[in-house]
Structure 1
Amino acid sequence: MPFTVRNGKVDDVMAINNSDIWNDGAWLAHRYDASADVFHLRHVSRSAHNAATFLTDEYLGVEPHPIVLSRSEARATNAENANLHFILHSAFCASTMFANGFDLPGLSMGLKEPVLLNDIVGFRRRGAPPVAVAERLGDALDMLARPFADDLAVVVKPSNIFNALAPASLAMRPSSKAILVHAPLSVFLLSVARKGLWCRLWCRELLEGQIADGIVELGFEPSDFFRQTDLQVAAVGWLAQQKLFHDIARKLGAERIATLDSERLTANPDKALLAAASHFGLGDHAAANAAHPAFGTHSKFGGSFRTEDRRAEYALAQTAHGDEIEKVLIWAEAVAQSANVPLTLEHALRF
């Protein structure tokens, strides 16, 4: 039976029927507690999803009394056959805006970087056996697949630290499809440079995690990274994710995988949404939502934000950091050629 914890004491949840939780995606599976092998659930309305940049306590607020559901109870959700699709991304590519576009009542809901999946990543990185990771990953995906009301599907955009688990996730759910959203390397490096010191540090943290995940196969020795500049490290992280995306696209093919770069997305977000909805099997029903309000709003900070605004920001960054970026691009292209990493992905989303 689900329960909550109040003042250190366990309270049974009598007012909420189990089926109300199991069958309603508004009861977000928010965290996984590996020590107790339980999920923490909290109620997040559709409007709360829209208002939150990401599904984290920073944006949702702290839930002091989550509903706690044992993993064995969670398996009663029967969500294995629910329609769950993925937006996988390599950061700074308008993927949050894109995920916002899948708030299509009656069709789909977009989940933006649920912490639950980060918890599974942490469980793996702490050395959990692969079988245990696979079991918890499968259960976590089932929990996130529960639809809102009469929606047809859930579209989840994990944090990019989840990318190493993407191949396993797609293998576990053979009916799931994915769109791999990425910025061209030059645009990615511009983003890192203009965001400043915190972002350069984040790129080093990202690469540290990618190395732990075993997805950095570019011919470097561990000591090499200490002799690389911040933007070189950022480029290595981008190349590692690009190789992973290339391998996923080639293995699973165009039926399940489409790729989309940030420049095509931001130039025509409405058309990209319609094409993506079709790829996910939502048909042409999303046509009425083509002019989605998410596409005129800054995904991180709110307020009006247009494609022209984005281009202006990048032009300023190019002026300030262009020389450094051009040098790193030449170096990164040589690394990509040596490691057989294509800079353009197959199976581009058609629109």
Structure 2
Amino acid sequence: MAEQPLKNILAYGEWLTHRYDEDADSFHLRQLDRSQHDAATFITDEYLGAEVTPLIVRRNDAIEQVSKTNPLHFIIHSAFCASTMLARGFNLPGVSMGLKEPVLLNDIVGWRRRGAPPAAVAQRLDHGLHMLARPFKGDQAIVVKPSNVFNALAPLALTMRPTSKAILLYAPLPVFLVSVARKGLWCRLWCRELLEGLITDGIMMNLGFEQGDYFRMSDLQVAAVGWLAQQRQFDAMVSTFGPERISTLDSETLTATPEAALTAAMKHFGLSVHAANIAGHPAFATHSKFGGAFDSKDRTAEHKAATEAYGDEIAKVLIWAKAVAETAGIPLDLTAPLL
């Protein structure tokens, strides 16, 4: 491809940098408009469909063509906290676009976990973030919500991008446990996969457990331990980067006052938006995973039913988890609140 057409393609974010191929050291791009972003729960092949003819660009060729000054901000989350809803809120033409769990970042995480050299991982992450930061034409910025498998790399990303800010979004521990319980077997298995990744990433240190202890834990204990490890990391990020760059938000505040939360998030990220563009945003009236009408009352009803079904198990694990948190010095509520 001639240099000028490639430069034009890479000037804006309509061509999503979708994958990183470590063997060929290249990026795979696919073209997505706003409606496709909005319709997909996550911007993964599962929801978008496989791209059989991606635009493949060598990493070094791509990074030479992109601006290194495009604003990029983050929603970092610990799962089941309405993060997809918040990310959808940033789909505002002329203002921003929210990227929901781009696979590119998962590819870099996977490469790191397979033993890639740290310096090489940092370079690919830096280049990948520049590629994701390309705004939609006419927009001010990109806001990316990575999968929470990215959390171990979040401090590095913020260190490399000193103008980037982040919102750390989490569900309160009781709400998180209710979510895990009501989602059933697949979610309980996912929590064990999450724990495996946290161990690989070195995030599980100094919680007072030996590796063999995890095999003797119930599903909800495993879920609680994963939550505590991420909460400790979030607390450390607030201390490291300060409230000027980091704001925290819990899922209950977000779902109770979504428009106020989005307005505050826009201000935190330095984005200019008229209040009328936020009022009645469709992201806050539809189910972020399955579509269809959905609001905070529906969510409350779901959680109430799950609490009635699993309340005894949840209550026992909560007592245990709070004791672990106290011993390890992990706050159940984070400082630097967005609201």
Bin for the TM-score computed over the shorter chain: over 0.9
Q: Can you list the C-alpha shifts for 1:151-180, whole angstroms capped at 9, x where unaligned?
A: 100000000000000000000100000000
Alignment-derived partner of residue 340 in structure 1: 329
- Whether 1:79 aligns to 2:67 is yes
Alignment of 1:176-187 (within 5 A): 176-187=164-175
> Once the 2 structures are TM-superposed, how far is the Cα of residue 135 of structure 1 from its aligned partner?
0.4
In 2, the alpha carbon distance for the partners of 1:225 and 1:119 equals 27
Q: Can you list the C-alpha shifts for 1:299-325, whole angstroms capped at 9, x where unaligned?
A: 000000010000000000000000000
* Match among 115, 120, 127 for residue 115 of structure 2: 127
Alignment-derived partner of residue 58 in structure 2: 70
- Whether 1:262 aligns to 2:251 is yes
* Amino acid across the alignment from 1:147: P
Alignment-derived partner of residue 316 in structure 2: 327
Alignment of 1:53-64 (within 5 A): 53-64=41-52
* Match among 302, 309, 312 for residue 301 of structure 2: 312
Alignment-derived partner of residue 146 in structure 2: 158
Alignment-derived partner of residue 211 in structure 2: 222
Q: Can you list the C-alpha shifts for 1:117-136, whole angstroms capped at 9, x where unaligned?
A: 00000010000110000000
Matched residue of 2:248: which SS?
A: strand
TM-score of the superposed pair, with normalisation by structure 2: 0.98
In 2, the alpha carbon distance for the partners of 1:290 and 1:21 equals 33
In 1, the alpha carbon distance for the partners of 2:171 and 2:123 equals 32
* Distance change >3 Å, CA 286–CA 70, structure 1 → 2: farther
Alignment-derived partner of residue 188 in structure 1: 176
* Match among 241, 265, 285 for residue 276 of structure 1: 265
> Once the 2 structures are TM-superposed, how far is the Cα of residue 80 of structure 1 from its aligned partner?
2.1
> Once the 2 structures are TM-superposed, how far is the Cα of residue 291 of structure 1 from its aligned partner?
1.8
* Amino acid across the alignment from 1:77: Q
* Distance change >3 Å, CA 213–CA 15, structure 1 → 2: closer
Give the share of equivalent positions with the same residue, in percent: 64
Alignment-derived partner of residue 149 in structure 1: 137
Alignment-derived partner of residue 5 in structure 2: 17
> Once the 2 structures are TM-superposed, how far is the Cα of residue 205 of structure 1 from its aligned partner?
0.2
Matched residue of 2:30: which SS?
A: strand
> Once the 2 structures are TM-superposed, how far is the Cα of residue 245 of structure 1 from its aligned partner?
0.4
Matched residue of 1:204: which SS?
A: helix
In 2, the alpha carbon distance for the partners of 1:340 and 1:287 equals 42
In 2, the alpha carbon distance for the partners of 1:245 and 1:196 equals 27
Q: Can you list the C-alpha shifts for 1:179-209, whole angstroms capped at 9, x where unaligned?
A: 0010000000000000000000000000000
* Amino acid across the alignment from 1:120: I
* Distance change >3 Å, CA 332–CA 210, structure 1 → 2: same
1:25–1:144 CA contact under 8 A, matched in 2: yes
Alignment-derived partner of residue 190 in structure 2: 202
In 1, the alpha carbon distance for the partners of 2:279 and 2:7 equals 34
Matched residue of 1:298: which SS?
A: coil
Structure 1: stretches of 5+ with no match in the other structure: 1-12
TM-score of the superposed pair, with normalisation by structure 1: 0.94
Alignment-derived partner of residue 10 in structure 1: none
Alignment-derived partner of residue 93 in structure 1: 81
- Whether 1:30 aligns to 2:18 is yes
Structure 2: stretches of 5+ with no match in the other structure: none
> Once the 2 structures are TM-superposed, how far is the Cα of residue 75 of structure 1 from its aligned partner?
1.2
1:22–1:77 CA contact under 8 A, matched in 2: yes
- Whether 1:212 aligns to 2:200 is yes
2:66–2:131 CA contact under 8 A, matched in 1: no
2:7–2:66 CA contact under 8 A, matched in 1: no
Number of residue equivalences = 338
